[in-house]
Amino acid sequence: MGTKGNAFLRPAGTIVSAAILIAGLAACAELPRDPEGTTERIRRTHEIVLGDIAGAPPSPHAQRVLDRVAARLGAHVTRVDGHGEDLLNRLEKGKVDLVYGHFAKASPWAGKVHFGGPLGRRRSVGEEEHVPRFAFRNGENGWIALVESEAR
């Protein structure tokens, strides 16, 4: 009997294909990722360091979001007050986890940090309009997704 019809020779290719598929799915299970480990560090230290921009009117919605995120991660929020430039610079360097303030999507910082969606009932705002929102360290997509999902 020839090898063309031999069913015992085909499974090796099937096993390799299945292994590649399983590895691919396992990698996807970890998405979105935090290259700098923000979410995992917060779980480990039980602390979210929030940069609070001086003079930014408080948002009850922002506080509810922070409370829900902290509860999910078993953490508390430590607030650090400061000015916008200083806190966004500290965010970019990973010294704070999140900054709350009133930001325009078109801010010059938009290329250095990620601005989340507007907090509150209004979801559609102009690019230049300063609205309450969180700013995140670029690339910390798991952390961004977690906070943004609680903000909706």
Model confidence at 118: pLDDT above 70? yes
**Band of residue 32 on the pLDDT scale cut at 50, 70, 90:** confident
Q: How far is CA 80 from the centre of its chain?
A: 20
**Band of residue 93 on the pLDDT scale cut at 50, 70, 90:** very high
119, two tokens: 């907090």
pLDDT at 85: 96
Average pLDDT over residues 35-59: 95
What fold characterizes domain 38-151?
D-Maltodextrin-Binding Protein; domain 2 (3.40.190)
Model confidence at 17: pLDDT above 70? no
> Does residue 137 contact residue 106 with C-beta atoms inside 8 Å?
no
Model confidence at 5: pLDDT above 80? no
**Domain boundaries along the sequence of the chain:** 1-30, 38-151
**Neighbouring C-alpha atoms within 13 Å toward the C-beta of 104:** 8
61, two tokens: 């919605």
What is the spatial distance between Cα 126 and Cα 139, in angstroms, rounded to a whole number?
24
Average pLDDT over residues 61-87: 97
**Band of residue 90 on the pLDDT scale cut at 50, 70, 90:** very high
Residue type, 33: R
Residue 118 is given by DSSP the state P
**Band of residue 124 on the pLDDT scale cut at 50, 70, 90:** confident
pLDDT at 19: 44
**Band of residue 110 on the pLDDT scale cut at 50, 70, 90:** very high
Angstrom CA distances, 20 to 17, 23, 30, 32, stand at 5, 5, 16, 20
pLDDT at 30: 53
